[in-house]
């Protein structure tokens, strides 16, 4: 593999020599976060969506370094639990820079949110309103609506979101209960490859605002996350830049009319900001196919494969003109721990390194210590 090729240069912000140096210092598996790339992604979102408030989705990657870095450049945060509120607060983020964006909340989380002053939150059903009325009646509420998820890998309207036609009733219900309905939210699924999901959802938001006009003053519109991993159109049609050209004119109209518009990007901020270095710890030939066993697997950083339905590129440091189909497997004793099949790789040996780019989101966050294997060590560069 030619280390000067564009694939390596675009995907990995360091050289092969620096990779080897990191491994000598920290061993593997190693989850490497690039501060420069993290900031680049955040600033690109600001550039493409001017005036939109960024609430980074903590669930994408809750590492304290990421939260601190984003806090320092002005980000707010989308939190979904008592634990995430506590984590973000511990990094010095004030409560007004958080949204409790889980439509089904534990009372413990609601009590803690009230205690420290996180008062912006979502709901999508009557029972949740009753819970909020009991625990945190002064909270400001956004009704979350169900949206199309065509072209999205994860359908986030399967489990959450009221039918758009029910949203006016839920807003009025909140008002009649003495609560404070303040806005509308949606999430088109993640990652989204169909910009029409956003356009449809924004149209529904406008219709709901019209229906409750005169009875409820809507002030906040939350467009959720789900943005593509790629930033620029030169990287492909499904890019943040391309999406912004279609969506942003509508958002600017909302801003012009005095609405506060917020977004909850996670993947697009952190996805390409981290890469994994993993090592070949075993090798076997099974039914004529070479299996390489890695020191990270499905129960570790590659948890993004079952949970996020992700696919990854595997960039070995060993160079060879020959490439053959191979299987990559994780280190645990579970036969489910197979990372990828039919991967074209050069012949590898024990201790060889493989670098996996674009693995920053929904990977390390959902990794476990199953079978006693520790999660990949995190290093910031």
Q: Does the structure show a pLDDT above 80 at 156?
A: no
Report the C-alpha gap between 68 and 64 in whole angstroms: 6
Note whether 218 and 278 are same-domain residues.
Answer: no
Number of other residues whose CB lies within 10 A of the CB of residue 182: 21
If asked whether residues 229 and 285 sit together in one domain, one would say no
Q: Do 251 and 334 share a domain, yes or no?
A: no
Instruction: Determine the 3-state secondary structure of 141 from DSSP.
Output: strand
Res. 356: pLDDT tops 60: yes
Is 283 found in the same domain as 249?
Answer: no
Which entry of 2, 256, 286, 333 is annotated as an active-site residue? Answer: 333
pLDDT tier for residue 2 given thresholds of 50, 70 and 90:
very low
In a domain, residue 1? The reply is no
Residues 258 and 165 in one domain: yes
Tokens of 340: 């990828």
CB count within 10 Å of CB 349 equals: 9
Let me know if 192 is a catalytic residue: no
**Strand, helix or coil at 272?**
helix
| 228 pLDDT above the threshold of 70 | yes
**The residue to which tokens 């061993």 are assigned:** 27
Which tens digits make up the pLDDT trace of 291-344? 999 999 999 999 999 998 999 999 999 877 889 999 999 999 999 999 999 999
- What was the pLDDT predicted at 4? 45
Phi-psi region at 365: left, alpha or beta (left = phi > 0; alpha = psi -120 to 50) = alpha
Structure token pair of residue 258 = 């005095």
Judgement on whether residues 217 and 302 belong to the same structural domain of the protein: no
- Per-residue pLDDT, averaged over 283-287, amounts to 96
- Checking if the pLDDT of 197 tops 70, the result is yes
Give the C-alpha distances (Å, rounded to integers) separating 41 from 47, 258, 263: 10, 27, 14
Q: Which domain holds residue 337?
A: 6-32+273-380
Q: Domain check: are 261 and 348 in the same one?
A: no
């Amino acid at each position: 593999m030619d280390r000067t090729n564009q694939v390596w240069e675009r995907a990995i912000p360091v050289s092969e020599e620096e990779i080897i140096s990191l491994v000598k210092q920290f061993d593997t598996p190693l989850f490497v976060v690039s501060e420069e790339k993290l900031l680049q992604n955040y600033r690109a979102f600001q550039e493409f969506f001017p005036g939109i408030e960024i609430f980074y989705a903590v669930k994408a990657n809750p590492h304290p370094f990421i939260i601190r870095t984003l806090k320092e450049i002005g980000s707010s945060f989308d939190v979904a639990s008592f634990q995430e509120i506590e984590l973000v607060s511990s990094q010095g983020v004030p409560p007004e820079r958080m949204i409790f964006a889980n439509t089904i909340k534990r009372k413990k989380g609601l009590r803690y949110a009230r205690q420290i002053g996180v008062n912006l939150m979502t709901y999508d059903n009557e029972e949740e309103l009753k819970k909020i009325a009991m625990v945190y009646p002064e909270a400001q509420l956004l009704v979350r609506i169900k949206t199309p998820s065509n072209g999205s890998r994860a359908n986030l309207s399967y489990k959450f979101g009221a039918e758009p036609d029910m949203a006016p009733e839920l807003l009025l219900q909140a008002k009649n209960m003495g609560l404070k309905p303040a806005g509308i939210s949606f999430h088109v699924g993640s990652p989204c490859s169909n910009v029409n999901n956003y356009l449809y959802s924004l149209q529904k938001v406008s219709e709901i605002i019209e229906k409750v006009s005169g009875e409820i003053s809507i002030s906040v519109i939350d467009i959720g996350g789900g943005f593509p991993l790629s930033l620029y159109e030169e990287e492909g049609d499904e890019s943040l830049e391309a999406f912004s050209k279609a969506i942003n004119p509508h958002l600017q109209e909302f801003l012009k009319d005095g609405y506060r518009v917020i977004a909850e990007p996670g993947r697009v901020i952190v996805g390409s900001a981290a890469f994994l270095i993993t090592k070949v710890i075993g090798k076997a030939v099974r039914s004529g196919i070479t299996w390489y066993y890695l020191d990270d697997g499905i129960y570790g950083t590659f948890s993004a494969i079952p949970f996020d339905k992700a696919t990854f590129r595997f960039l070995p440091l060993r160079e060879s003109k020959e490439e053959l189909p191979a299987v990559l497997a994780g280190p645990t004793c579970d036969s489910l721990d197979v990372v990828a099949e039919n991967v074209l790789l050069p012949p590898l040996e024990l201790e060889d390194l493989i670098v996996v780019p674009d693995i920053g989101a929904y990977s390390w966050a959902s990794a476990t210590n199953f079978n006693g294997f520790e999660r990949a060590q995190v290093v910031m560069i």
